[in-house]
Amino acid sequence: MAWDFSTDPEFQEKLDWVAWFCKEEVEPLEYVFPYAVRSPDPKVKAYVRSLQQQVKDQGLWALFLDEELGGPGLGQLKLGLLNEIIGRYPSAPQMFGAAAPDTGNMEMLAAYGTDEQKKRWLEPLLNQEMFSAYSMTEPQGGSDPNLFTTHANRDGDEWVINGEKWFTSAGRVADILFVMCTNGMFVVPRETLGVEIMPEPRNHNHIKYTDVRVPLDHLLGPEDGAKVLAQRRLGGGRIHHAMRTIAQCTLAFDMMCERALSRESHGKIIGEHQMVQEKIADSYASIKMLRLFVLETAWKIDNTSTAEARTDIAAVKYTMAKVLREVSFNALHILGSLGTTDLTPLQAMYAGAPTMGIADGVDEVHKATVARRVLKEYRPHEGNWPTEYYPAKREAAWVKMQPKLDADPELRASAEAYQKYLARRR
């Protein structure tokens, strides 16, 4: 019986190294040189490269890519365990060459790009000589591709793109934009004439594409293949995202427990008050249940496919937003007024939870998907009564037991006695 919650010793050594590296090298860098990976300072850049070389020496660079796409090919379960550590530190994903939105865009390039496209865009992205953004959702249609209107028309040896995109995260600082059109996925350099980035929002950008011209070879994958590429981009990525969310939940949980043992109220430490204990207990159980669910889903992907695990992937997506919201809220309350400030990570966690419930498809859409797929496994009952209707089950049981009762009069007598006894009780 293969049922094991342990990690093999060799990979545990990798996890231990990642935990040490993030704590001792990545976290200090975060506070001394914020956004160090994008720093133009040559000294800072050289120092970052030296740290990233350590990651490469461990075989953990671009760890999200499958082996056939040029990555380590770890599989979703191992990736999940790694991301559970990396997700605790905001700059760690970039230090491992595994930060969104570049990860999903690199995966699309690796899977669907031509050799020339990989040379032009994938290699610089992998080496962090270039950064990208994913321009998908639209003001009038949200994340529903059936409502998108951004379209590319072919004009000689160019594509001409017209449309409007909403919430293109990091679009303002990207070198290239992956623009999802109704008839394909296109790579658009940000400086291309006709690309207009609106002043607001600052971080998740509103972009207008007006007569944007790109060469024919800027189409990624097949024409009319944008939906296929988008699903490839989002499937496994949700598992990575979920495990990083668990890392954030665990950080919030650590903070609430530490605080519960450090402050007093009404004559005793706050950890001795039952309402605080309730928040700690509920948070502990929520994190544990989500973690097991995500790891099981990762295991299922590794042993079947993303398509086979689609129901669980969707359920993971909306559950992680809910757990982060609840755990960060509990931690914020236990920290009190300090939790409402920007002096700890909690306020950003709690403020980010609603965004998580919208990004990569709103939770309501994923819930509807889960319900539809689950219901396909069931059939309506026959007649007026459900399968578990007691009177019908008793009647069926007597019919089934009849040959045994006929063969054993004493057993029949006992059964009839029980029948009379239960009839009196009812």
Residue 374: is its pLDDT beyond 70?
Answer: yes
pTM (predicted TM-score): 0.90
Non-local (6+) Cβ contacts of 257 within 8 A are 271, 280
Residue with the two structure tokens 């200090």: 28
| Mean pLDDT of all residues in 324-342 | 96
Residue 335: is its pLDDT beyond 90?
Answer: yes
Domain boundaries, the chain: 9-113, 132-220, 227-375, 390-425
Name the pairing type of β-strands 132-135 and 176-181: parallel
The Cα 195–Cα 247 span in angstroms is 36
| Average pLDDT for the chain | 94
The Cα 292–Cα 294 span in angstroms is 6
Architecture of domain 9-113: Orthogonal Bundle (1.10)
Domain 227-375 is in which class?
mainly alpha
pLDDT in tens, 63-118: 888 887 777 889 999 999 999 999 999 999 999 999 989 999 999 999 999 999 99
Q: Which two tokens stand for residue 341?
A: 């400030």
| Mean pLDDT of all residues in 190-207 | 96
Q: Which residue has the higher pLDDT, 72 or 205?
A: 205
Query: What topology is assigned to 132-220 in CATH?
Result: Butyryl-CoA Dehydrogenase, subunit A; domain 2 (2.40.110)
| Mean pLDDT of all residues in 151-175 | 97
DSSP structural state of residue 204: E
Say whether 132-220 and 9-113 share the same fold: no
Q: Specify the pLDDT at position 1.
A: 61
Position 156 confidence tier, pLDDT thresholds 50, 70, 90 = very high
Q: Which two tokens stand for residue 241?
A: 């995202």
Q: Specify the pLDDT at position 153.
A: 98
Q: Specify the pLDDT at position 235.
A: 60
The Cα 145–Cα 157 span in angstroms is 26
Angle at 217 between CA 212 and CA 221, to 5 degrees: 105
H/E run at residue 379: none
Residue 422: is its pLDDT beyond 90?
Answer: no
| Mean pLDDT of all residues in 373-385 | 94
